[in-house]
Amino acid sequence: MKAPKVMEHIKPAHIECTKEDIAPIVIMPGDPLRAKYIAEKFLTDAKLINRARNMFGYTGYYNGKRVTVMGHGMGMPSVSIYAFELFYFFGVEKIIRIGTCGGLDESINVPDVILATNSYTEANFAYTYNGDPTHWAKPSAHLTEKIRETAKRNDVKLVEGNVICTQQFDFYADLEHMLHRIQDKDILVGEMETFALFHIADSFDKEAAALLTCVDSIYKNTFLSIEDREKSLDTMIQLALDSLE
């Protein structure tokens, strides 16, 4: 199924810039301040191109490659707004989500970097979006393979597997009950955005992938300090940027 039809002559309601301001490739953290951090630390000639609703977006260059870094907020409703507008109105071809996640399998350690190979949700997001009853969404095979190859070349260890995309922060829900329901799904980690991003990208025949840093786990009494979190997230950020082509 394809993307829903949009009313003629409608303009983007959440991103305020020109189509030329946004690069064909977008790196998307959830936190808009992390987008600012990435632009200032990793990009050259970075320009603020969106500040509507304080969802900061910057376009600049990484190793000579033009790229946009923009926040997407928390949860499927928020990421769906920004992903849809970027694909539909601004002609974006690829989005790599870079975010955090919580470990839901004993094999996952803090701060493992996860490459999402499938995203499962119990929500009816796809059915509401375009009538598709699926609860599974896949990232782009080509973009995922590019990240995998780059990680190998850069000696970055990746853990690959299924993620669950929840409608609320999993630690603030009946986690035990949820884990019982999904015990046959081979879920490694939980987060809140990948399903919507993958499903929307697929509806436009565009590419999307996700890298996630595990910052906590239900099986381990380990939480990243601010300093350790920054260092671990930098590994993921660098990998995403190095995977651009």
**pLDDT tens digits for range 182-240:** 999 999 999 999 999 999 999 999 999 999 999 999 998 777 776 776 667 999 999 99
Give the residue-averaged pLDDT of 25-45: 96
Q: Give the per-residue pLDDT at 220.
A: 84
Chain length of the chain = 245
Strand-pairing partners, residue 113, are 213
Return all residues near 151 (Cβ < 8 A) that are at least 6 apart. Answer: 113, 115, 157, 158, 239
Domain layout of the chain by residue ranges: 19-242
Fold of the domain built from segment(s) 19-242: Rossmann fold (3.40.50)
Per-residue model confidence (pLDDT) at position 226: 67
83-120 CB burial, b ≥16 within 10 A, e <16: bbbbbbbbebbbbbbbbbbbbbbeebebbbbbbbbbbb
Give catalytic residues, as residue numbers: 216
Contact in structure between 226 and 47 (CB atoms under 8 Å): no
Question: Which range (48-52, 69-73, 109-113) has the least confidence?
Answer: 109-113
pTM of the model: 0.96
In sequence order, what are the residues at sequence separation of 6 or more whose Cβ sits closer than 8 angstroms to the Cβ of residue 230? none
| Of the candidate ranges 67-71, 72-76, 140-144, 174-178, the one whose mean pLDDT is the lowest | 174-178
